[in-house]
Amino acid sequence: MVLVAAFVVFSPPRLVVVDCCLPRSLDVIGSAARPVNEVVGPLSTPFSGKLEMYRSSVWLGLIATLVVGSFAWENTVLSHDVSLHKHRQTRRLARAKARALTAAGKGRLSSQTEKQEKCQLTIELIDSQTQEPLFGLVRLSNSATGDHLALTDAIDRDMNWYVADPSVPLVMPAVSLQIEALHGIEYARAVRSMDLRGVSKAKVSIPLKRIYDPRADNWRSGNTHLHLMKMTHAEAVRYLRTVPRADGLDLVFVSHLRRLPDERHYITNEIVENSFQGGALKRLSQGPTRFGNGQEHRHNFGAYGEGYGHVMLLDLRKLIRPVSIGPGIMNGEGSDGIPLQRGIRLARKDGATAIWCHNTYGFEDVANWVSGELHAQNIFDGSPQGSYQDSFYRYLNLGMKVPFSTGTDWFLYDFSRVYVPLTGELTAESWLSKLRAGKSYITNGTFLEFEVDGKSLGDTIALSGPRTLEVQGRAVGRNDFQGLQVIHNGRQIHQTKTRSQKGHFSAECRFTLSVEGSGWLALRIPLEAGKNELDKPLFAHTSPVYLQVDGKPVFRPEVARDLIQEMKDNLKTIRSKGKFDTAEEMNAVLRVHQDAIENLQSQLQGR
């Protein structure tokens, strides 16, 4: 699909047409998104004020058109590919958006030129209370123009943020600056002004005020899904050493995946393969962030697009082979005759943890949840698409225990993380054991606390009949997350608004709830909760507290029937699209779904 947006701006004595395309290759977004003066030229007339306002509205309209158009394009072409293509699209769109904000006076990206005087600026971020040094993110802008400064040697993030490593000075134009700084999601954003004109070398310390301390209550964060590409080994090690630390992550799982011929660029494959003998992950784990290994075990009918799905296998003793299944993704190698369930079972036999990726992506997710093969469910790992209702709530309303999990897939493009409570030494196994037990909540900016009758996440409350429960929840975040919601069996039953505090927002709820049957309760922020500093939609959701009457979980027959029909439809697709060398291969794949269908049908008959 090609999206063309044309806006006409009159600037006597000439006519300027801004023509922007979202073409077959998303690379054009980045190249087309130049500073506005390069595109439309200066406007200097007696009517320039009005024209600037008009031009600003035009560019804001263009931004909105790019955003809406890109998602429309994604939904029609990439609806099943939520990993590499999604990362590339999100990355380029964010950069285009940041640069296009020029015309709206929001701060354009100003590149350095050879003629500008330079200054080496060392930025030290410190905890305002403990005075301990922090890695973090900084965004620099020219105080006179509002332009954001482009830094050549720093690791860049979306929306013109850069990683601040106190041991590495930043080279920048010697101008009057505004510095924005933050660390992870635990600290308020700080703003500092500094005049570097005529200065060749400078140093500044910026105190950051903590708004929430998860470690004080023994909550430790993890990212369950990360790959890197198109980097040297040294660049990847630098990225892993600094970016998770700047984001305040305690544990990161770096994963292996295969796709021919693209995998030659996947530097994390080499890192993971060497991790079984120690390697870079062991050395990196000597720092503040711990690292674990994993693989994205996957099947696609083509190089991209639909297939059986993707599943994370974490804390492996060895890679499960084949890592990727199917001639489509493996450039003609093999067949579609191996179900993901086989690899899941092999990994579990070795003590690994199995987490389904990308929400409802793929055909084998339902079957493996029904068969009890999976430990947790990822959402928003590489894509903001999908909903809790599509996956978690359906499984939970069949009495399954479904821990919430998340990650970022390609690069750390967001602050996404999973928190679990953990005392003692942080290791991949100790952290994953809490995740498997459902003690988790996911977030990319808002901290959550939730209890029901003194029970916490993953716990089960035994009921003998109708009962009144005490429900309490709390949330804290740097950005306004618009409220706090309590969910009962997939339905919102209570909402509280946020209140602004110094440098952050919070919300609390406490109420009694009368329940009569089995089910579950969870806490989340609203589905439309604004965005974080990296321009990503805010999300936060706890794993449930479960309610069981006479030891029996909730079971909704209508959900079971829907999932049975979905699996029957999947069987038709697999038969029509799959390439199998033998009938035995095809039957092995179909059997995964047929067994799960029989399982749910048996449960329906027993009701």
pLDDT digits (tens, 9 = 90+) for 401-442: 999 999 999 999 999 999 999 999 999 999 999 999 999 999
pLDDT digits (tens, 9 = 90+) for 326-383: 999 999 999 999 999 999 999 999 999 999 999 999 999 999 999 999 999 999 998 7
Strand pairing category for 417-421 and 441-443:
antiparallel
pLDDT digits (tens, 9 = 90+) for 495-523: 999 999 988 999 999 999 999 999 999 99
CA 91/CA 279 separation, integer angstroms: 30
pLDDT digits (tens, 9 = 90+) for 450-500: 999 999 999 999 999 999 999 999 999 999 999 999 999 999 999 999 999
Query: Of 76, 105, 134, which closes a domain?
Result: 105
| Domain co-membership, 204 together with 222 | no
Q: Is residue 531 part of a domain?
A: yes
Q: Report which secondary-structure segment, H or E, holds 561.
A: helix 557-577
Q: Is residue 532 part of a domain?
A: yes
Residue 152 is predicted with a pLDDT of 83
**Residue 357 near residue 378 (C-beta atoms within 8 A):** yes
CA 91/CA 497 separation, integer angstroms: 32
Q: Is residue 112 part of a domain?
A: no
Indicate whether 575 pLDDT > 50: yes
**Residue 377 near residue 341 (C-beta atoms within 8 A):** no
| Domain co-membership, 290 together with 200 | no
Residue 58 is predicted with a pLDDT of 42
Residue 383 is predicted with a pLDDT of 77
What's the number of domains the chain is made of? Answer: 5
Residue 471 is predicted with a pLDDT of 98
**What separation in angstroms does the CA of 208 have from each of 133, 165, 570?**
10, 15, 51
| Domain co-membership, 257 together with 320 | yes
**Residue 106 near residue 141 (C-beta atoms within 8 A):** no
Region of residue 331 (phi > 0: left; psi between -120 and 50: alpha; otherwise: beta): left
Residue 73 is predicted with a pLDDT of 38
Residue 107 is predicted with a pLDDT of 52
Phi, psi (5° rounding) for residue 280?
Answer: -65, -35
| Domain co-membership, 324 together with 421 | yes
Strand runs (DSSP E) across 497-583, as ranges? 499-501, 504-515, 519-524, 540-542, 545-549
Residue 606 is predicted with a pLDDT of 83
Q: What residue type is assigned to position 188 of the chain?
A: A
Strand runs (DSSP E) across 467-518, as ranges? 467-477, 484-488, 491-496, 499-501, 504-515
Q: Is residue 213 part of a domain?
A: no
To the nearest whole percent, how much of the chain has pLDDT over 70? 81
Query: Of 208, 235, 259, which closes a domain?
Result: 208
Indicate the pTM of the whole model. 0.85
Residue 4 is predicted with a pLDDT of 36
What CATH number should be reported for the domain holding residue 418? 3.20.20.140
What is the span of the domain harbouring residue 269? 218-444
Confidence grade of residue 63 (pLDDT, cut at 50, 70, 90): very low
| Domain co-membership, 485 together with 428 | no
